[in-house]
Structure 1
Amino acid sequence: MELNEAIDLINTPQLKQERPQNWADLGCGSGLFTYALAQYLAPKSHIYAVDKHLVQFNKHFYPAGLHLQFLQADFTQIGLPLHNLDGILMANALHYVKQQANFIEQLKSYLQPQGKLLIVEYDTNRANQWVPFPLPFSELKSLLLEAGFIHVTKLRSRASVFNNGTMYAAISSLPT
């Protein structure tokens, strides 16, 4: 996927705020969606990019005035130094978590009231070695509503090169 496609996939007015925000990209991988998220955040915003593998970010791909901090850690472990976040992005990462309901509860502790959860996943329920715990949108919606999130919205879908399937982006938030 190209950067412009990632930017389009997560496009929503909910990301475009005038005030600086603090976000985390859990399981950031190469940083593709970190860069995409950066396009929507106000100057002086902060993104914590978390991955267990070292990532080198190219400042050319994110706007000036945005602070990007890499944390080398396993995002599934309890105790990440993340607090009072405005939002969490997980792009093609939640399908690695076996106990997704428990993990969502952990994510809530990182967010402030009205904190957003932006998810990009494969819209399939067939597991394989690359997507061990798939999470189609219908299951994500149920999982988030049960965890107390509100307004679970599918932003858009796109064809995936993986298994002739589709990917989706969805956003939700905690109540006030």
Structure 2
Amino acid sequence: MTHREAISLIDNAWLRNLTAYPPSTGPGNLPQAPQPGPTRWADLGCGSGTFTLALAHFLPKDSAIEAIDLHPDIKRQTTSNGVHIHPREADFVTGHLHLQHLDGILMANALHFVRDKPALLQTLHSALRPGGIFLLVEYDSDTPVPLWVPYPLSFTAAPRLFSPPRWTPIQKGNTRPSTFGRGQLYSALTHASL
């Protein structure tokens, strides 16, 4: 997938849903507009960094993305719009990542490698600040493909994992045909409940 195609896939979910559930609250837990300024993200299962760089396209200057993978194939860099990317070699399923107070987590084509999704999502929820964003890209299928998509998560099944009270209702973004001819990819977005 090209950089532009990755941006296009997450763009609609980002623009349509970013303000649907403001990430911070004011007095009395009333919603308040997001504060401008740098944000902190983790991209779990970053691989070559295709979606890391697509996410960076939308973030404010001086934001940081920790790009985590067993074998990250992206270099430490600062993008042209001033987002800092820090690769880290780690297993996001079994490793102790010590992530906390994140503004967002991106998992693009990675959650389908996780057998015990509820346990991982509980851990990741605690790494997000209240209102933090969880941006998901997955194959829209429930049929396993050994080695490539062992534990698929269709969008139809996603609301059972990302449900209140822990998460806001998950919203589907854009879709596109898979490069590998195995159906559609979808993007989706939810927030850690306030």
TM score, norm. by length of structure 1: 0.92
Q: Offset of 1:64 from its aligned partner?
A: 4.1
What is residue 3 of structure 1 aligned with on the other side? 3
After TM superposition, the structure 1 = structure 2 runs for residues 19-98 of structure 1, keeping only pairs within 5 Å, are 19-57=37-75, 59=77, 62-98=79-115
Tell me the distance in 2 between the aligned counterparts of 1:56 and 1:17.
29
Give me the whole-angstrom Cα distance separating, in 2, the residues matched to 1:70 and 1:167.
Answer: 25
Structure 2: which amino acid aligns with 1:83? Q
Give the match for residue 152 of structure 1.
170
Contact kept? 1:17, 1:42, Cα under 8 Å:
no
Q: RMSD between aligned alpha carbons?
A: 1.9
Alignment gaps of 5+ in structure 2: 20-33
Q: Distance in 1 between matches of 2:35 and 2:157?
A: 29
Among the aligned pairs, what percent are the same residue? 41
TM-score by length of 2: 0.84
Distance 1:17 1:170, change over 3 A: farther
| Ranges of 4+ aligned residues in structure 1 off by more than 6 Å | none
CA displacement at 1:122 relative to structure 2:
0.1
Superposed displacement of residue 78, structure 1? 4.3
Q: Alpha-carbon deviation of 1:151?
A: 2.9
Deviations 1:89-127 (A, max 9, x none): 000000000001111101111100001100000000110
State the structure with more CA Rg.
2
Unaligned ranges ≥5, structure 1 = none
Q: What secondary structure is seen at the aligned counterpart in 2 of 1:23?
A: strand
